[in-house]
């Protein structure tokens, strides 16, 4: 039976070899662990997770590929039984499929109920470009459920995830990542390692999730401050903040922090942005609103 077609609209670019997954497997250490795999596709990573002894919940949006994954697992099992019979005459002490059959959910990964996952659950996957940032933004706050995650993403996405102050790729999403996790580069993957080859290279990124620097209820307001600060990248921090806060409040915040008028968000790390947010909240109490100067 021929495998299903790859859907360009879903960003389907499947890995061609399980050996390419080694950096992810070494980072996650999934043996005996529950692993949610996002977008298993043809099951190359699934097979490596199962071989490492993981209990896999495969979350696949494409019904045809979900059915193909089930067929391929059955073939792996038949092959494994044949190898065990030849080598051991009975069950081998370890081997492919030792984590049991993958449970398969046919649903959009953007609807994954992260907060209801039983802890600890690891997460892995080869993420399409069009969902990577949205999925990570939803996952990262759930450190109580997910201690570690690792993904294959397009290289430009990886650069944003790993960027620090002063890096060209540094932006508001880089700050969101830093606020919720320690991001670790795990290596690049060439275009020819996928079927069909994408236009750009891929890269593995690992995440060690951790509690955010503010109580969960305060994080949305902090992230709104970060988005405002980075909202106009070609402008100074003062002008970016004035667009949402008004000139007087923006000037008062910069003065309170001792920042020059030409300061830019791209040079501020997580501690400085937290201080900026706190100063902005305090300034609400001390600076009267100026409705005609908010640049709305």
User: For the domain 216-293, what is the CATH code?
Assistant: 1.10.8.100
Q: Tens digits of per-residue pLDDT, 113-163?
A: 999 999 999 999 999 888 999 999 999 999 999 999 999 999 999 999 999
In this predicted model, which residue has the larger pLDDT, 88 or 45? 45
- The answer for 103, left when phi > 0, alpha when psi is -120 to 50, beta otherwise, is beta
The mean predicted confidence, pLDDT, of the chain is 88
Give the rounded percent of residues in the chain with a pLDDT score beyond 90: 73
The ranges of the chain annotated as CATH 1.10.8.100 are: 216-293
Q: Tens digits of per-residue pLDDT, 18-58?
A: 999 999 999 999 999 999 999 998 899 999 999 999 999 99
In this predicted structure, the answer to whether residue 292 has a pLDDT above a threshold of 60 is: no
Secondary structure string (H, E, C) spanning the chain: CCCCCCCHHHCCCEECCHHHHHHHHHHHCCCCCEEEEECCCCCHHHHHHHHCCCEEEEEECCHHHHHHHHHHHHHHHHHHHHHHHHHCCCCCCCCCCCCCCCEEEECCHHHCCHHHCCCCEEEEEECCCCCHHHHHHHHCCCCCCCCEEEEEEEHHHHHHHHCCCCCCCCCHHHHHHHHHEEEEEEEEECHHHEECCCCCCEEEEEEEECCCCCCHHHHHHHHHHHHHHCCCCCCCHHHHHHHHHCHHHHHHHHHHHCCCCCCCHHHCCHHHHHHHHHHHHHHHHHCCCCHHHCCC
Predicted confidence band of residue 198 (pLDDT cuts 50, 70, 90): confident
Query: pTM value?
Result: 0.86
pLDDT confidence of residue 140: 98
pLDDT confidence of residue 99: 61
The ranges of the chain annotated as CATH 3.40.50.150 are: 8-209
Q: Tens digits of per-residue pLDDT, 61-82?
A: 999 999 999 988 888 777 765 5
pLDDT confidence of residue 289: 52
In this predicted structure, the answer to whether residue 100 has a pLDDT above a threshold of 90 is: no
User: For the domain 8-209, what is the CATH code?
Assistant: 3.40.50.150
């Amino acid at each position: 039976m021929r495998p299903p077609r790859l859907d360009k609209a879903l960003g389907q670019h499947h890995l061609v070899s399980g050996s390419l997954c080694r950096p992810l497997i070494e980072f996650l250490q999934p043996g005996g662990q529950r692993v949610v795999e996002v977008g298993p596709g043809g099951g190359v990573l699934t097979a490596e997770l199962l071989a490492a002894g993981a209990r896999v919940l495969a979350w696949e949006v494409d019904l045809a590929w979900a059915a193909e994954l089930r067929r391929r697992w059955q073939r792996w099992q038949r092959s494994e039984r044949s190898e065990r019979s030849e080598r051991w005459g009975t069950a081998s002490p370890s081997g492919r499929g030792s984590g049991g059959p993958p449970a398969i959910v046919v649903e959009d990964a953007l609807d994954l109920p992260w907060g209801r996952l039983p802890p600890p659950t690891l997460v892995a996957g080869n993420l399409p470009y069009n969902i990577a940032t949205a999925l990570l933004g939803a996952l990262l706050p759930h450190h109580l459920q997910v201690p570690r995650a690792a993904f294959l993403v397009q290289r430009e996405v990886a650069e944003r995830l790993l960027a620090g102050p002063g890096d060209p790729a540094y932006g508001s999403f880089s700050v969101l990542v830093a606020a919720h996790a320690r991001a670790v580069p795990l290596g690049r993957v060439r275009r020819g390692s996928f079927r069909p080859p994408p236009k750009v290279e891929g890269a593995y990124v690992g995440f060690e999730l951790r509690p955010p620097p503010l109580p969960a209820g305060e994080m949305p307001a902090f992230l709104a401050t970060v988005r405002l600060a980075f909202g106009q990248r070609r402008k100074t921090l003062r002008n970016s903040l004035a667009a949402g806060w008004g000139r007087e409040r923006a000037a008062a915040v910069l003065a309170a922090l001792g920042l020059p008028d030409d300061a830019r968000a791209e040079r501020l790390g997580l501690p400085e942005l937290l201080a900026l947010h706190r100063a902005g909240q305090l300034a609400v109490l001390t600076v009267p609103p100026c409705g005609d100067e908010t640049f709305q």
